[in-house]
Amino acid sequence: MKLYKAYAKVNIFLKITGTRASYHEIISRFMRVDSLYDELSFAPKQKGQEFEIVGEFSCDTKQNSIYKAYIALLEVLDEEAAASLKNLMSRYGVKVIKRIPAFAGLGGGSSDAATFLKMCNEVLHLGLSLNELSAVGIKVGADVPFFIYGYDSANVSGIGEVVEEFKEELLDLEVFTPDVEISTPKVYTLYREQFYNPIDGFEVERLKKTASRDILDQMSADEANDLFKPALQAYKELKNYYRHGHFFSGSGSSFFRVKDV
């Protein structure tokens, strides 16, 4: 069966711009990491479960982002297309070769969900546009739309649903993920309680226009990512892994740098 690559991403910068109910609104530059990806494929079922995922996951099936994407897709399809999708998943499981670490700020779960949606769209000839798939994906996770569009680099805003391509060459990134399992809600809660300092619209526009290489040349790790300080406070062992010249992706725990710097 055809293999589909679900790439990781890093946040070149991640700044808070405000709040929306319980969510934080952001401006962030997402960049794809070409050297790190999961591989997904449809494989004949082994266990006869209603929905089968074959791979190394710590969560049960119904908590998996791929299953959530399946349910979200079913909800928007007409009766005939939904029946086709159910028939496909009655005969095939989703095989996942995991390489992107979980709880790492690299978007692995979101990338898997996006890739699954695109696989279903292709195999079943559903004819959904990228915008339509993105509308399904945002119900699964804030980072999913970026992976749906498949851009090398993009400015992502709102709570993740606004994805604007940023044309630039991919940087050759080296990613390191320490064995520290981070809770994104915990980091955001601590940010709101102790570090809340949203940037203004002028700074948002400046960041959106600045190349990723220049951002990394001009900013330190804590300047580039508003979640770095709260993550360090919540998970003090992170300090043992930080190295000068590295940057923090998402809410962690991964660090990255440009290889030739």
225-252 pLDDT tens trace = 999 999 999 999 999 999 999 999 999 8
Is 65 one of the annotated binding-site residues? no
Question: Whole-angstrom Cα distance, residue 152 to residue 168?
Answer: 8
Mean pLDDT (whole number) for 188-195: 96
- In this structure, the dihedral spanned by the alpha carbons of residues 132, 135, 141 and 142, taken in order and rounded to 10 degrees, is 110
Q: What are the strands, taking DSSP E only, across the chain?
A: 4-20, 23-44, 53-54, 92-97, 153-158, 162-165, 173-176, 247-248, 255-258
State how far the Cα of 75 lies from the Cα of 77, in Å rounded to an integer: 6
114 pLDDT higher than 60: yes
| Active-site annotation, residues | 9, 143
Predicted confidence at residue 18, as pLDDT, reads 95
Q: What percent of the chain has pLDDT over 90?
A: 89
Strands 92-97, 53-54: pairing kind: parallel
CATH fold of 173-258 reads Alpha-Beta Plaits (3.30.70)
What pLDDT score does 135 carry?
96
Which CATH code of 3.30.230.10, 3.90.380.10, 3.40.605.10, 3.30.1600.10 fits the domain covering 4-165?
3.30.230.10
Domain with CATH 3.30.230.10 in the chain: 4-165
Q: Give the predicted TM-score (pTM) of the model.
A: 0.94
The predicted model gives 169-190 an average pLDDT of 94
Task: Give CATH 3.30.70.890 domain extents, the chain.
Answer: 173-258
108 is in an annotated binding site: yes
For position 47, what pLDDT does the model report? 66
pLDDT digits (tens, 9 = 90+) for 126-159: 999 999 999 999 999 989 999 999 999 999 999 8
> Distances from the Cα of 131 to the Cαs of 149, 163, 167, in angstroms?
8, 10, 19
